[in-house]
């Protein structure tokens, strides 16, 4: 985005401001196998599906097909483009689908072991996406699936509280946060996904 102080008057009117990025819906589900390493420490490995999204605001689609250069200096002729409209326009959700393999360490807190602290890391693969990239030169959002990194690494942490009694199936609930260490795409802007919320688990022994 070029401010009006940096460009001549008259040209400033055509400059488009990109949208702020806001949080969107996200959820994970999967299964995990855990093994006790000691009385309080356990190790788990799992497989899960993750859906992550964020929200931007886009303008109308240009009247004709446009040609733009992406960050890799490749010419892209794109008819699925949208004008930038700052934060006034239509809502658009960038959506990403991952398959992930997390490795989790869990440590029991206290003598009753009601509370557990967990942390770990994982690798993931981007199965698919419905997302837009922003091009500064053209002032438009456009689709370029080749711009995204398929393999992703993540770290996560959280606390768990076991709400069921010892003679029943354990049912921990917990707040958690997950951060992707890998940049989401191959541009120079370094986009990283952050997910946080509440989780619940059913444990079968």
Distance CA 55, CA 164 (A): 37
> Is the pLDDT reported for residue 45 higher than 60?
yes
pLDDT band (50, 70, 90) for residue 5: very low
Average pLDDT, stretch 90-104?
A: 96
Q: What are phi and psi of 12, to 5 degrees?
A: -60, -30
CA gyration radius, the chain:
22
Token pair for residue 196? 């946080």
Phi-psi region of 177 (alpha: psi -120 to 50; beta: other; left: phi over 0): beta
> Is the pLDDT reported for residue 14 higher than 60?
no
The 3-state DSSP class for residue 65 equals coil
Which residues are 157's β-sheet partners?
119, 177
Question: Which of 144, 156, 135, 147 is closest to 184 using CA atoms?
Answer: 147
Distance CA 98, CA 125 (A): 5
Question: Which of 204, 128, 200 is closest to 169 using CA atoms?
Answer: 204
Average pLDDT, stretch 94-99?
A: 97
pLDDT digits (tens, 9 = 90+) for 50-70: 999 999 999 887 666 666 766
Token pair for residue 18? 């990109």
pLDDT digits (tens, 9 = 90+) for 139-161: 888 888 888 999 999 999 998 88
Weakest mean pLDDT among 132-136, 160-164, 196-200: 160-164
Question: Which of 192, 184, 93 is closest to 141 using CA atoms?
Answer: 93
């Amino acid at each position: 985005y070029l401010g009006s102080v940096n460009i001549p008057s008259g040209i400033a009117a055509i400059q488009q401001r990109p949208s702020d990025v806001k949080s969107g819906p996200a959820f994970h589900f999967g299964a995990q196998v855990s093994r006790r390493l000691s009385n309080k420490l356990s190790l788990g490995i799992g497989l899960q599906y993750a859906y992550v999204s964020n929200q931007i605001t886009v303008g109308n689609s240009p009247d004709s097909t446009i040609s733009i250069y992406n960050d890799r200096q490749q010419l892209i002729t794109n008819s699925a483009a949208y004008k930038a409209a700052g934060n006034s326009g239509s809502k658009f959700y960038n959506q990403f689908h991952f398959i992930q393999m997390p490795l989790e360490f869990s440590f029991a807190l206290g003598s009753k072991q009601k509370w557990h602290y967990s942390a770990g890391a994982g690798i993931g693969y981007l199965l698919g996406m419905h997302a837009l990239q922003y091009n500064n030169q053209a002032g438009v959002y456009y689709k370029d699936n080749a711009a995204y990194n398929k393999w992703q690494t993540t770290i996560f942490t959280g606390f768990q509280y076991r709400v069921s009694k010892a003679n029943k199936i354990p049912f921990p609930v917990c707040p958690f946060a997950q951060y992707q260490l890998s940049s989401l795409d191959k541009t120079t802007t370094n986009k990283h996904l952050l997910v946080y919320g509440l989780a619940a688990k059913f444990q079968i022994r």
